[in-house]
Amino acid sequence: MNEVAIALSTILEKVERQEELQRDDLSTLLSLNEKTDIENLYQAAYAMKDRTVGTTVYFRGIIELSNVCEKDCYYCGIRKSNVHATRFQMTEEEIVHAAVWSYEQNYGSIVLQSGERRDPHFVDFIEGILTTIRERCDGELGITLSLGEQSYDTYKRWFDAGAHRYLLRIETSNPGLYKRLHPSDHSFEVRLECLDLLRKAGYQVGTGVMIGLPFQTIEQLADDILFFKRHDIDMIGMGPYIVHEETPLAQYASGNDNGQEQELSLELGLKMIAVTRLALRDVNIAATTALQALHAQGRELGLQAGANIIMPNVTDQKYRAAYQLYQNKPCIDENSSMCRACLGHRISGIGETIGYGKWGDSPHFFARTQL
């Protein structure tokens, strides 16, 4: 065995002994570049997933309800300064229709995601929708929100109206890098504080980062995993950064528009999933759509590297093309029924089952709230 393979097996033995992985261990795993070493990493992560959360995949049907956004993140295609984005806002009826469709398909849960708005009209609008969905689905549909930074009162009102999980990516746990990715009126500290507010309001809290950002180092990604651990996060939604040409960050990106770059970007995304599974064990980890943007089987590869959640797009087809956080977003020409059939085949193809009709909450949440 060469030096790297020996280091890998030493770290995997540490995992078996349930020892905490240190920053150096995480960096070593994320830096693996030999095919066989990487395969061994994925297999170890899959075995850990099997032991901790099982091999049932849970669905969260994602409704991308509006691309109107007050913020101007340098990487995102729907930032407010992108004048080329055609703005849309789904009506209450359309949103509830997509939620009820997901419920009838036995998806178990949905995610409501959009650009960030904090005005009272929007806060009331979301509250009203949550109340209606709860009535129409007998409170049986699990609801995750991904609607950005809000006040404690707003988080609490939405929680009381029926949402029980919230996804707010920290984007990077490195304050210096965060600063380079956002205008000066966006604040790392505020975003961090929102994660605490969400927890106080009672939510299962999800966060995540973008992987392969310009200026980002492997050590920073290792720190991101330690950040998830330190903040006792219940669910992780992270994925490769993908260039959007109409954004300021595009000029710094080497671009994942050629085959080799795409492969490396996908590989780093998968390694992050695997290493996060080994370090955090019993959390929910999503195989995000950005993986699929880089590879036709990206999400299945994500499941095989340790993820256990998939977020099928249930947004009305007519809005999909306008919600482009990044380019080459997959499935914008498909409708929700096509996505359902396609996913069913893909998941049974890798020998996993779908947890239809189940919320599939993070076992970590129950472990931490029982303490």
Q: Determine if 71 is a binding residue for ligand SF4 (CB under 6 A).
A: yes
Number of alpha carbons in the 13 Å side-chain half-sphere of residue 76: 22
For 169, other C-beta atoms within 10 Å of its C-beta total 18
Q: At what angle do helices 218-230 and 23-30 cross, to 10 degrees?
A: 130
Q: Determine if 79 is a binding residue for ligand SF4 (CB under 6 A).
A: yes
Q: Please, what is the Cα angle at 16 between 11 and 19, to 5 degrees?
A: 70
Q: CA-to-CA distance for 153 and 159, rounded, in angstroms?
A: 10
Of these, 169, 199, 320, 329, which contacts ligand SAH (CB under 6 A)? Answer: 169
The one-letter amino acid code at 110 reads I
Q: Determine if 76 is a binding residue for ligand SAH (CB under 6 A).
A: yes
Q: Determine if 74 is a binding residue for ligand SAH (CB under 6 A).
A: no
Which of the choices ligand SF4, ligand SAH, none does residue 261 contact, using the CB cut-off of 5 to 8 A by kind? Answer: none
Picking from 183, 247, 189, 179, the residue whose alpha carbon sits closest to that of residue 215 is: 179
- Enumerate residues 190-249 that contact ligand SF4 by CB under 6 A: none
Q: Determine if 76 is a binding residue for ligand SF4 (CB under 6 A).
A: yes
Q: Determine if 148 is a binding residue for ligand SF4 (CB under 6 A).
A: yes
Of these, 61, 108, 142, 148, which contacts ligand SAH (CB under 6 A)? Answer: 148
Cα-Cα end-to-end distance for the chain:
43
**CB-nearer residue toward ligand SF4: 192 or 218:** 192
Q: Determine if 115 is a binding residue for ligand SF4 (CB under 6 A).
A: yes
Instruction: For the chain, list the strands marked E by DSSP.
Output: 56-66, 109-114, 142-146, 165-167, 204-207, 210-211, 235-240, 284-287, 309-310, 353-354
Quick note: the x/- pattern for ligand SAH over 95-134, rule CB under 6 A, is: ------------------x-xx------------------
Which residues lie near ligand SF4 (CB under 6 A)?
69, 71, 73, 76, 78-79, 115-116, 148, 325
**Binding site, annotated residues:** 69, 73, 76, 146, 171, 191
Residues making contact with ligand SAH (CB under 6 A): 75-76, 113, 115-116, 146, 148, 168-169, 171, 210, 239, 241-242, 244, 290, 325-326
